[in-house]
Structure 1
Amino acid sequence: MSYDKELVAHKLRRWENYLINYKLPAWKELPDIGLYMDQVIALLGQYLDFIPVEEKNKPVTPTTINNYVRLKVMPAPEKRKYYRIHIAYLIMIFTLKQGTSINGIQQLLPVNAPEEEVKAFYTNYIQRLQEISLFYIEQTRAAAQDLLDQPKEAKEGAIEHFITQSILMSGFSRILADKLLRLRDADTQQVLELEKTSDERGYHPTIAPDKKKED
């Protein structure tokens, strides 16, 4: 099966337009009236409608939310009701989940923080998400310029190349994020000693001789 280049270009433009206009709700826009689980799931479905939904693997379920509470990634509901602070945590968790593990999320989000601190963190978070969305649009457009401008004239394999590039960039970004997350509360001297030991082991056989292995 081959790709319809014009259809792919259409999808890329649609995704770009979506991201340009996409904004997460501000703190004051989040409901604070006390919602039950089914209401929370419906609300998150509206806020996070860009996340692909598979019939047998919905991104937001009661089980996943209960697990986040059990793992103390977010505060527990009050008498089975979820308020603004809970919705804010869930929005951040489900958006971060697209690029890191639950362990990484636990390190990034404020744990057992007072509401004002969560409010400030969430406000900064949604601003960063919008900035990254615009940066991502620029990078995507640059990488797929020919396909977007003249889809019919795009070279054979252009779509597969772009998909591969997107996957590899995503992978490198996640690897770097994981490396940096592991530095939290790390013993600086111990990290440097481990790097020194790694360097002294010699060159990695599968990379160029002027490149040393990165641990």
Structure 2
Amino acid sequence: MENINEIIEKLGLETNLALEEIPNIDLYMDQVIQLFENKFSESRRNPEEKVLTKTMINNYAKGKLVFPIHNKKYSKEHLILMSIIYQLKGALSINDIKITLDGINKKVVKEDINLESFYNGYLKLTNKNVSDFKEDIDSRINMVKDESLEDGNSPDLEHVLMISSLVHMSNLYRRVAEKLVDEIVVEKEVKRQR
């Protein structure tokens, strides 16, 4: 477990698509894929894994995770939403992502949102989350080592404890996020009944 901080550094957790990296001109699908591959390639678990594919983009469009595409070109706003989808899909189902982003998509279509300002807030939060995560990892390493010393566990069991602890924390966060998605659904139902 001594190498966990090295692992974390190699994950590229701070990697996000910054606003200044998104062109102000609309892009074709292949250009979008290339932009995402160049930006997020280090965050892949293995080299064969694709960051974004034509099928994924088509599914996002068909599933209405993003507002309609015009002339087979993707705007800066589409790329912002795809960047958020890229992060959300690690924990939420496609349906949950659709529910989560539905209000934003509607506001984009109505031109009732400053999406760049929203995205800047999102990026600030993600950077803070990474910082908090690194502090939490150090704390969790110490807790696992303390637990292992008490029980006389071998290093391989220490790894299992750490993996289990991380997965448990991940599940706790995911479950809360899912309940927040469920609240969006309930709020929509209440509005429809009025």
Aligned residue among 47, 51, 67 for 2:44: 51
Runs of at least 5 residues in structure 2 that lack an aligned partner in the other structure: 146-151
Distance 1:19 1:124 in 2: 22
Structure 1 residue aligned with 2:71: 79
Structure 2 residue aligned with 1:108: 100
* Sequence identity percentage: 26
Distance 1:139 1:101 in 2: 26
Contact conserved, 1:85 with 1:118, CA < 8 A, in 2?
yes
Task: Name the TM-score, length of structure 2 as normaliser.
Answer: 0.76
Structure 1 residue aligned with 2:2: 9
Distance 1:87 1:138 in 2: 31
Q: Does 1:138 align with 2:138?
A: no
Contact conserved, 2:100 with 2:184, CA < 8 A, in 1?
no
Map 1:160-171; keep pairs closer than 5 Å.
160-171=160-171
Shift of 1:138: 1.0
Q: Does 1:93 align with 2:90?
A: no
Superposed CA offset, 1:132-176 (max 9, x none): 11111111111114889xxxxx94111111011111111122112
Shift of 1:186: 2.4
Distance 1:58 1:142 in 2: 33
How many equivalent pairs are there?
Answer: 174
Contact conserved, 2:66 with 2:78, CA < 8 A, in 1?
yes
- Computing the radius of gyration from Cα coordinates, the structure with the larger value is 1
Shift of 1:18: 4.9
Distance 2:13 2:170 in 1: 23
SS at match of 2:183: coil
Runs of at least 5 residues in structure 1 that lack an aligned partner in the other structure: 1-7, 149-153, 191-215
Distance 2:174 2:98 in 1: 16
RMSD between superposed Cα atoms in Å: 2.8
Which structure has the highest helix share of the two? 2
SS at match of 1:79: coil
CA change 1:21–1:71 in 2 (3 A) is closer
Task: Name the TM-score, length of structure 1 as normaliser.
Answer: 0.70
Contact conserved, 2:99 with 2:181, CA < 8 A, in 1?
yes
